[in-house]
A and B are shown apart, each in its own frame.
Chain A
Amino acid sequence: SQQGEEDPQALSIQEGENATMNCSYKTSINNLQWYRQNSGRGLVHLILIRSNEREKHSGRLRVTLDTSKKSSSLLITASRAADTASYFCATEAGQAGTALIFGKGTTLSVSS
């Protein structure tokens, strides 16, 4: 069964606006990762946040993690048309490298 649940399922915004996606999970984790998938392509790793971290930044990305609520959020600031993609959260609960459990994803559409 899938561990992560992203919310919303779909999000449409204008260029320059911020996009926020949320992820909830069920069990204790070692880390939570966000991946992007452009239409018809493989997934690309965006950012990893460990269970002992609360916030992390990478360029226009900001990720937060609240282990007490078993939830994470991904914020993309100043969105561009090129950010149009599906975004997935993935959790790792076991030994490093053993398996990631992915959510169903949020489809982001950024129009110019």
Chain B
Amino acid sequence: GAVVSQHPSRVICKSGTSVKIECRSLDFQATTMFWYRQFPKQSLMLMATSNEGSKATYEQGVEKDKFLINHASLTLSTLTVTSAHPEDSSFYICSASNRDYQPQHFGDGTRLSIL
């Protein structure tokens, strides 16, 4: 079945560091990928929709200058958390779908801890 790979799985870094997270669709082309954030014991919240070859669409309340998204190819989207602070510590997870209206397949997520 469709597989989505996310890297790294865990990041621990100092406040002020920028962190890049990669999301790859391994066996299908994804014109659209999605980035979610999940705080402990909470649900997943959609942050942004990553569109290949165009600007990402951000959900209300998500700072686009803080969370930079690049979708340069049909198999790769990256999320960069710029100048991360402790409040950015969370579980970030991406998803992709190989066709419209089909179930989204998720990466394994990235646990980001900012000290």
To the question of whether A and B form a pair in one complex, the answer is no
